[in-house]
């Protein structure tokens, strides 16, 4: 009986799925095959007998969701991705945190320690940056892949130590006339350290046994050196010197490290560990082009810093706290083939990813990126959770025409809902609700998807809708289009209508993405004003009616087919504050 049911289930036969669940309810649970228990989601939660502490909280969430299609797909396919669909800071940690508990492997496949989210375990909170979320749960395998960039134990630098000077013929140059020791940032009387090892040390002080966290790092991961941090800071000031738009970089060396691969320098973890002379010569080669801008910092000093990082990570490897893996694709595919459940944890978000590079991060947090890095195809992926927050918020340089004006009401909202970046500590900007950008985010995130029923939207912080309306004088509005003015070949401005402008147009992803500016046109977005926006004003006699309309508009921006969809709504700050809803996209609105 079990064999037949498992065969049916393994071929995605829903009759077999139902029979397995029926056998569980009626059968002898002590003799239930472990392989089938794993499919039904009891492998890590310990069945139904653990009802205390942290597990009790997760069992509540499990009871709420184990009959859903997305839960069953996760158990059947074995892979779910969590991707930000706005400007970052969407609250990806909440759904990631839940998925981790019903999974065996957590994979970080993009970004570096410039990312940040909070994971809560019991009454403790842990701020994570480069480490996968599974590190705070014993027994998980946590993988940092070659899609990431790795700062081992870095110092941040003080931008005030760089100078913009006028050279001959009025040309501006950015130089740093200080020794390396003099430009390192100081916090509480000590050098400000960031990266993998400071993060591990903080977790250990919080009671986490890192040896049980099973941290694996791909040898092909690119290493962030202090040389990258210096050049990252330099790049930001060079842009300022010539009047280019500010990027809003965290100054972590991320973009420079990604760029080093295209420039054919040898800065991988394998290079540092197993072919260190090649790594050090790459520093020398790189610094030949920049040493005149840093006259008091030599390549030899930078190599000494690299040697220190090498010694530190080797110690952690020898102590059994880290493991370096080779051939990551085959390693990950083998884990999946063995029946391990996998969470792909995307850092940052699609709208600041490489598809919209004008706005931020140097990496690509998308389905396509996950497949390229891991070698797992879309047919093996059960769910893609697209995470949103209402209203959107973020730190960093973002489109000004969507940014809400700073008012007392906005500041009160930010204070009440802790709108500060985990990595930067900066206050986040609050943005208008835009289904144009939501459609663009989904387009970038799910490129290559084989079945849109695998998309599970998550709309966090819907419990704050009433408070958020105080920012906009009680009016609930959604942006459905805007005017973008771009130059034609002779430099004249041409108006392009982005999104939906006519009442008769249905709200679909294709209509919302009409004339959406690609990378070369996005710079013109800084000329867009709030008067250029096309707005939907959401009416309703009750707040719940307005919320329902808003959520259905969101579904219309993501889904092409008019089917009833499962989605999740955040109803509060706790992990269990997630409600399952179903709804059909709303294609017509004023």
Helical H runs in 186-327? 196-205, 226-242, 254-262, 269-274, 276-287, 299-318
Helix (H) or strand (E) holding 440: helix 435-445
Q: Identify whether residues 46 and 192 lie together within a single domain.
A: no
Q: Does a structural domain hold residue 391?
A: no
Residues 175 and 310 occupy one common structural domain: yes
Closest CA relative to residue 422, chosen from 176, 128, 54: 128
Give the separation between CA 569 and CA 567, rounded to whole angstroms.
Answer: 7
Give a yes or no: residue 332 inside a domain. no
Residue 351 included in any domain:
no
Number of compact structural domains in the chain: 3
Distance CA 501, CA 535 (A): 9
261 is a domain residue: yes
Domain boundary among 10, 38, 60: 60
Residue 144 covered by a domain: no
Domain membership flag for residue 165 = yes
Same domain assignment for residues 33 and 157: no
Q: Which two tokens stand for residue 204?
A: 């250990």
Residue 570's closest CA among 392, 429, 389, 430? 389
Is 198 part of any domain? yes
Same domain, 155 and 301: yes
pLDDT per residue as tens, the chain (590 positions): 444 554 444 444 443 444 455 454 445 445 555 555 555 554 444 333 334 445 666 677 778 888 899 999 999 999 999 999 998 889 898 899 889 989 999 999 999 998 877 777 767 888 899 999 999 988 999 999 999 999 999 999 998 899 999 877 778 899 999 999 999 999 888 999 999 999 999 999 999 999 999 999 999 999 999 999 999 999 989 988 888 877 767 778 998 999 998 898 999 999 999 999 999 999 999 999 999 999 999 999 999 999 999 999 999 999 999 999 999 999 999 999 999 999 999 988 888 876 565 666 778 889 999 999 999 999 999 999 999 999 999 877 777 888 899 999 999 999 999 887 666 677 889 999 999 999 999 999 998 899 999 999 999 999 999 999 999 999 999 999 999 998 888 888 899 999 999 988 999 999 999 999 887 787 777 788 889 999 999 999 999 999 999 999 999 999 999 999 999 999 988 878 899 999 999 999 86
Q: Which of 323, 350, 367 is the last residue of a domain?
A: 323
Task: List beta partners, residue 268.
Answer: 222
End position of a domain, from candidates 290, 305, 323: 323
Specify if 369 maps to a domain: no
* Nearest in space to 529 (alpha carbons), one of 491, 570, 484: 484
User: Do 283 and 165 fall into the same domain?
Assistant: yes
Q: Are 418 and 127 in contact (CB under 8 A)?
A: no
- Paired with 70 in beta bridges are none
Q: DSSP class of residue 559?
A: -
CATH assignment at residue 312:
1.10.300.10
pTM: predicted TM-score of the whole model, two decimal places: 0.89
Range of the domain at 532: 467-583
Pair (156, 46) in one structural domain? no
User: What is the DSSP-derived secondary structure letter of residue 539?
Assistant: P
């Amino acid at each position: 009986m079990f064999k037949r049911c498992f065969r049916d289930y393994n071929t995605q036969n829903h009759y077999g799925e139902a029979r397995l669940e029926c056998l569980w309810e009626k059968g002898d649970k002590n003799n239930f095959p472990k392989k089938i228990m794993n499919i039904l989601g009891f492998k890590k939660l310990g069945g139904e007998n653990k009802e205390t502490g942290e597990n009790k909280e997760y069992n509540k969430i499990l009871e709420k969701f184990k009959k859903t299609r997305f839960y069953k797909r996760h158990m059947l396919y074995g892979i779910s991705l969590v991707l930000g669909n706005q400007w970052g800071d969407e609250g990806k940690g909440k759904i990631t945190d839940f998925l981790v508990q019903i999974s065996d492997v957590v994979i970080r496949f993009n970004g570096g320690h410039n990312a940040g989210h909070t994971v809560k375990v019991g009454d403790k909170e842990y701020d994570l940056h480069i480490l996968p979320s599974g590190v705070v749960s014993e027994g998980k395998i946590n993988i940092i892949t070659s899609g990431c960039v790795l700062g081992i134990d870095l110092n941040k630098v003080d931008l005030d130590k760089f100078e913009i000077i006028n050279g001959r013929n009025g040309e501006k140059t950015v130089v740093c006339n200080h020794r390396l020791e003099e430009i390192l940032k100081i916090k509480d009387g000590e050098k400000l350290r960031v990266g993998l090892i400071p993060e591990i040390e903080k977790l250990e002080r919080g009671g986490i046994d890192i040896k049980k966290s099973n941290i694996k790092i791909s040898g092909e991961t690119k290493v962030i050196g202090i040389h990258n941090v210096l050049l990252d800071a330099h790049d930001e000031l060079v842009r300022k010197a010539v009047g280019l738009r500010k990027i809003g970089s965290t100054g972590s060396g991320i973009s420079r490290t990604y760029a080093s691969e295209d420039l054919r320098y040898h800065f991988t973890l394998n290079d540092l560990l197993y072919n260190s002379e090649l790594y050090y010569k790459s520093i020398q080669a790189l610094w030949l082009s920049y040493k005149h801008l840093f006259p008091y910092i030599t390549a030899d000093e930078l190599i000494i810093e690299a040697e220190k990082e090498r010694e530190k990570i080797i110690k952690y490897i020898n102590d059994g706290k880290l493991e370096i893996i080779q051939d990551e694709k085959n390693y990950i595919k083998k884990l999946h083939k063995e029946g391990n459940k996998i969470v792909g944890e995307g850092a940052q978000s699609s709208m600041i990813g490489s598809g919209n590079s004008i706005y931020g991060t140097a990496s690509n947090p998308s389905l396509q990126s996950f497949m390229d890095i891991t070698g797992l195809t879309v047919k093996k992926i059960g769910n893609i959770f697209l995470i949103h927050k209402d209203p959107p918020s973020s730190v960093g340089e973002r489109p000004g025409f969507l940014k809400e004006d700073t008012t007392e009401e906005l500041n009160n909202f930010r204070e009440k809902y802790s709108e500060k970046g985990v990595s930067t500590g900066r206050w986040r900007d609050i943005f208008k609700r835009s289904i144009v950008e939501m459609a663009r985010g989904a387009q970038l995130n799910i490129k290559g998807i084989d079945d849109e029923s695998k998309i599970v939207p998550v709309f966090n912080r819907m419990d704050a809708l009433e408070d958020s309306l105080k920012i906009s004088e009680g009016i609930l509005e959604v942006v459905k289009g805007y005017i973008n003015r771009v130059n034609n070949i002779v430099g004249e401005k041409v108006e392009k209508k982005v999104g939906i402008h006519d009442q008769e147009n249905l709200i679909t992803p294709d209509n919302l993405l009409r004339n959406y500016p690609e990378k070369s046109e996005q710079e013109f977005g800084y000329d867009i004003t709030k008067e250029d926006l096309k707005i939907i004003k959401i009416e309703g006699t009750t707040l719940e009616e307005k919320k329902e309309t808003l959520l259905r508009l969101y579904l219309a921006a993501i889904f092409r087919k008019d089917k009833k969809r499962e989605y999740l709504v955040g109803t509060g700050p706790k992990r269990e504050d997630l409600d399952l809803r179903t709804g059909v996209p709303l294609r017509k609105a004023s």
